[in-house]
């Protein structure tokens, strides 16, 4: 779908690299520019080696800078993830590139953005989740501390997808643009359900505040006999009624959102699900239409029939590293060719 779109990517880690990967998956020609001998983690962590090429370029040298500007004059998109001000000091900032290419879409991806009191702060995924309210609304460990997320949520969803969406919108406009994409801003947008609720009511959401943050037993994770776990997401009454029927707990179906009933309901669900192994429950409840799923390990994810049917994994190749299997592009339509 992006055939004919060319992208210069200066990023190595994080949202910029995730964004470039997504654009390449949709057909853009992505050229990754890196310092000679610099890190290349994207070949494994970010799906490098398929649909992307790499050029070594020393941007601190005049020759390297001029080569970058020559390329930027012909490309459609530039992605960079330096701290604010660095590209201007290097002589490769937006205004310099725009003077050579008025239609350039120049996307700067940073943790906190080009402005504001945190703009020069260093950070990683967990820091942006912290300041955007995500961790506060997450589950707690035994000491009451917010639990670590199981994925780089901020880099991928709040940063990488935010950047890709902004770039695509700019390309559709047909006009050049400078895009200031901050991961923390993306986390704030992800938390808008809770932030907007607070702004409207003055009530501070948090763990146990509503159905999505653990207030009700119908939405949670439960341990099974063999130590495995299952996720129950039966928010709608019909799904919860189906679950109760399948588990022999019909009398609890009408108490789904009764606050006083939640401790006992949660205990009943816990005891029932703990009486059998995870995969026994999966086999029995798969057809019960009750928003029920196993908690899979990464190994199980790789071997999962559903992802296999969707063509979720592909074989990539790199001239120096040979072939390796990795997560493929997320494309509408399933199996990838």
Q: How far, CA to CA in Å, does 122 sit from each of 60, 86, 110, 127, 291? A: 22, 14, 9, 9, 40
Whole-model pTM above 0.95?
no
Region 151-175 average pLDDT: 94
pLDDT at residue 277 in the model:
98
Integer-rounded Cα Rg, in Å, for the chain is 24
What's the CATH fold of domain 6-190? Rossmann fold (3.40.50)
Q: How far, CA to CA in Å, does 136 sit from each of 75, 100, 124, 139, 318? A: 41, 46, 17, 8, 41
pLDDT at residue 40 in the model:
59
Q: Which of 185-189, 278-282, 312-316 has the lowest mean pLDDT?
A: 312-316
Is 124 labeled as catalytic in the residue annotation? Answer: yes
Give 193's contacts (C-beta < 8 A, 6+ positions apart).
212
Task: Calculate the average pLDDT of the chain.
Answer: 91
Region 204-212 average pLDDT: 88
Catalytic pick from 124, 136, 209, 318? 124
Name the residue with tokens 């808008």. 192
pLDDT at residue 305 in the model:
95
pLDDT at residue 44 in the model:
46
Tell whether the model's pLDDT for residue 47 goes beyond 60: no
> How confident is residue 117, by pLDDT bands cut at 50, 70 and 90?
very high
* Superfamily per CATH, domain 216-295: formyl-coa transferase, domain 3 (3.30.1540.10)
Angle at 202 between CA 145 and CA 215, to 5 degrees: 45
Region 238-261 average pLDDT: 97
Delimit the CATH 3.40.50.10540 region(s) of the chain.
Answer: 6-190
Delimit the CATH 3.30.1540.10 region(s) of the chain.
Answer: 216-295
The three state secondary structure string of the chain is: CCCCCEEEECCCCHHHHHHHHHHHHCCCEEEEEECCCCCCCHHHHCCCCCCEEEEECCCCCHHHHHHHHHHHCCCCEEEECCCCCHHHHHCCCHHHHHHHCCCCEEEEEECCCCCCCCCCCCCCHHHHHHHCCCCCCCCECCCCCECCCCCCHHHHHHHHHHHHHHHHHHHHHCCCEEEEEEHHHHHHHHCHHHHHHHHHHCCCCCCCCCHHHCCCCCEEEEECCCCCEEEEECCCHHHHHHHHHHHCCHHHHHHCCCHHHHHHHHHHHHHHHCCCCHHHHHHHHCCCCCCEEECCCHHHHHCCHHHHHCCCEEEEEECCCEEEEEECCCCCCCCCC
pLDDT at residue 257 in the model:
97
Catalytic pick from 25, 76, 125, 155? 155
Angle at 152 between CA 235 and CA 185, to 5 degrees: 85
């Amino acid at each position: 779908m992006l055939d004919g779109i060319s992208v210069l990517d200066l990023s190595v880690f994080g949202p910029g690299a995730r964004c470039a990967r997504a654009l390449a998956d949709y057909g853009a020609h992505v050229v990754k520019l890196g310092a000679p001998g610099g890190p290349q983690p994207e070949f494994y962590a970010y799906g490098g080696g398929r649909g992307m090429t790499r050029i070594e370029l020393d941007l601190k040298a005049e020759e390297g800078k001029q080569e970058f500007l020559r390329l930027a004059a012909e490309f459609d998109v530039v992605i960079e993830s330096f701290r604010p001000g660095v590209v201007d000091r290097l002589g490769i900032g937006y205004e310099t590139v725009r003077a050579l290419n008025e239609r350039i879409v120049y996307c700067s991806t940073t943790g906190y953005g080009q402005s504001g009191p945190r703009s020069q702060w260093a950070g990683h995924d967990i820091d942006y989740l912290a300041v955007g309210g995500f961790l506060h609304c997450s589950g707690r460990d035994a000491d009451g501390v917010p639990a670590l997320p199981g994925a780089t949520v901020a880099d991928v969803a709040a940063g990488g997808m935010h950047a890709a969406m902004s770039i695509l919108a700019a390309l559709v406009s047909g006009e050049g643009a400078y895009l200031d994409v901050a991961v923390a801003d993306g986390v704030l947008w992800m938390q808008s359900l809770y932030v907007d609720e607070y702004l409207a009511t003055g009530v501070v959401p948090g763990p146990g505040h509503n159905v999505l943050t653990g207030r009700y037993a119908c939405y949670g994770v439960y341990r099974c006999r063999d130590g495995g776990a299952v996720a129950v997401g039966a928010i709608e009454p019909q799904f919860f009624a189906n679950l109760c029927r399948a588990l022999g707990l019909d009398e609890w179906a009408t108490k789904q959102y009764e606050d006083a009933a939640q401790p006992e309901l949660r205990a009943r669900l816990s005891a029932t699900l703990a009486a059998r192994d995870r995969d026994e429950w999966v086999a029995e409840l798969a057809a019960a239409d009750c928003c029920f799923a196993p908690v899979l390990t990464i190994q199980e994810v790789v071997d999962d029939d559903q992802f296999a049917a969707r063509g979720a994994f592909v074989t990539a190749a790199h001239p120096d590293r040979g072939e390796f299997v990795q997560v493929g592009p997320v494309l509408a339509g399933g199996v990838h060719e």
